Structure 1
Amino acid sequence: MRTIYVVTHPEATHHVEGVVGGWHDSELTPAGLRAAASIAQVLRAEVPDGVDVELFSSDLRRTRQTAEKVAELFGVKPILDRRLREKSYGEAGGRPQEWLDQRFVPPPAVGERLEHDEGVEGAETKAAWAQRIYAAMDEVVQRPCEHQIIVTHGGSLTLVVASWIKMPIKAVGHASFRAPSGSITTLREDDFFHNRQVVSLGDTRHLDPAKDG
């Protein structure tokens, strides 16, 4: 049985500064670092002792910092993969969110959505974004390790889950699996039917102890 824990990095400086994330290389805030430590503790409690664990992460600082907290408790080295990055917003990355909002062209309700031009120079299409996430996920699931952790971004989580359930890329134009920052999504494949389950999506109970129990 394979279990994959997908972590969306917690609070980063671009969140509190009101600027566009994407490939802008922001870092975790003090609150984000504390949340990353909580995420690591929850994962350490979930994964059985003595089993092999693989840890994959986007190479941006905010995800690397999150992965490093997890790595400390598991004694593994994160495998950095730029394909696990958030969507690139091109020249909007690092600019005020208002700047992007004034220029952003939303995709149409019907028609071409994957190759849609959002009106921002250098921004990735959803097709290009999906193709790199799917390629990264294909390599992760081809590895024999039964316990894997992926640290990525809130937007990219949709494509990680879509890839996991084998949704064709041509169908992801309308897909959205929303999850808060600092969340854990659990994916599992059984050994008998080889069905792929989304066990939980965007769990944040570890960030608010009042919700426990």
Structure 2
Amino acid sequence: MRTLYVVTHPEATHHVERVVGGWHDSDLTPDGRRTAAAVARALRSTVPEESKIELISSDLQRTVQTAQKIADVFDVKPVLDRRLREKSYGEAEGKPQEWLDQRFITPPAVGDRLGHDEGVAGAETKGAFAERVYAVMNDILKHPYEHQIVVTHGFALTFIVAWWIGMPIESLGYANFRAPSGSITTLREDDFFHNRQVVSLGDTRHLPE
């Protein structure tokens, strides 16, 4: 039995400052740090005590800070992988959200949605973003752990879930699995049929009211 726990980082400074995230290296807010601690406690209460776990995280500060809270309760060192980063928004990153909104070209309802150019220099296409997330998850699946915790970003979660259920990249043009900041998505594969379950998507029961 293999179980993946996919954590979307909690509130970061770019959320409250209303600037574009992407690869902009924002920190967790004080509320975000408290939420990260709650995520860590929830995971510790879920994963069996005797289990060896692997903790893999995006290398941006908001995810590293989240992963460190989890690392502290499991006494492990996070492995950082830049391929788990959020989608790159190129020259828009760190700029006011309004700046991006004024320039953003929405994808067509029908046509090449994966290769669509959003009108912002340096921004990743949805297809390129999906390819790098699929690549890192293929590598993670090769690691011999029954329990793995992956700390990433909200948009990246869509491609992790799609990868888990075997969706080919060319089918991802319309895919969107939404989960709140600070949530935990649980994915499980059984040892007999090797069926893959989405046990929970974007669970926030661990968060304070």
Same fold (TM over 0.5): yes
Matching residue of 1:46: 46
Q: Which runs of 5+ in 1 are unaligned?
A: none
Return the alpha-carbon distance in structure 2 between the equivalents of residues 167 and 65 of structure 1.
31
Corresponding residue number in structure 1 for 2:139:
139
Secondary structure, aligned partner of 1:187: strand
Q: Counterparts of 1:3 and 1:16 in 2: how far apart (Å)?
A: 33
- Partners in 2 of 1:154 and 1:136 — Cα distance? 16
User: What's the offset of the Cα at 1:206?
Assistant: 1.0
State the match for 2:193 in structure 1.
193
Query: Tell me, what secondary structure is at the counterpart of 1:26?
Result: coil
The one-character-per-residue Cα deviations of 1:62-115 (angstroms, maximum 9, x if unpaired) are 000000000000011000000000000000000000000000001101110110
Helix, strand or coil at the partner of 1:158:
helix
Question: What whole-Å deviation, never above 9, does each CA across 1:121-158 have from its counterpart, x for those lacking one?
Answer: 00000111001000000011111100000000001000
Which secondary structure does the structure 1 equivalent of 2:16 belong to? helix
Structure 2 counterpart of 1:153, one-letter code: H
CA–CA distance in 2 between the matches of 1:45 and 1:39?
A: 10
1:92 matched to 2:71: no
Structure 1 vs Structure 2: percent identity of aligned residues? 72
Residue equivalent to 2:207? 207
| Counterpart amino acid of residue 17 in structure 2 | E
The answer for unaligned runs of 5 or more in structure 2 is none
1:38-117 paired onto structure 2 within 5 Å: 38-117=38-117
CA-atom RMSD, angstroms?
0.6
Please give the secondary structure, in 2, of the residue aligned with 1:207: coil
Q: Number of residues paired by the alignment? A: 209
Q: TM-score, normalised by structure 2?
A: 0.99
Residue aligned with 2:200, SS: strand
Task: State the distance in 1 between where 2:156 and 2:47 align.
Answer: 24
Residue 139 of structure 1 aligns to a residue whose secondary structure is helix
Inter-partner Cα distance in structure 1 for 2:13 and 2:207:
18
Query: 1: distance between equivalents of 2:160 and 2:46?
Result: 21
- Three-state SS of the structure 2 residue aligned to 1:185 is strand
In structure 1, distance between residues paired with 2:166 and 2:56:
20
Q: What is the distance in 2 between the residues matched to 1:8 and 1:32?
A: 11
Structure 1's consecutive aligned runs of 4 or more residues displaced over 3 angstroms after TM superposition are none
SS of the residue corresponding to residue 206 of structure 1 reads coil
Counterpart secondary structure, 2:206: helix
Equivalent residue, structure 1, for 2:183: 183
SS at match of 2:159: helix
For residue 151 of structure 1, what is the aligned residue in structure 2? 151
Q: Give the match for residue 21 of structure 2.
A: 21
Equivalent residue of 2:149, what SS? strand
Deviation at 1:208, TM superposition (A): 3.0
- Which residue is equivalent to 1:164? 164
> CA-to-partner distance for each residue in 1:16-49, whole Å, 9 max, x for gaps?
0000000000000000000000000000000001
Q: How does 1:113-132 map to 2 (within 5 A)?
A: 113-132=113-132
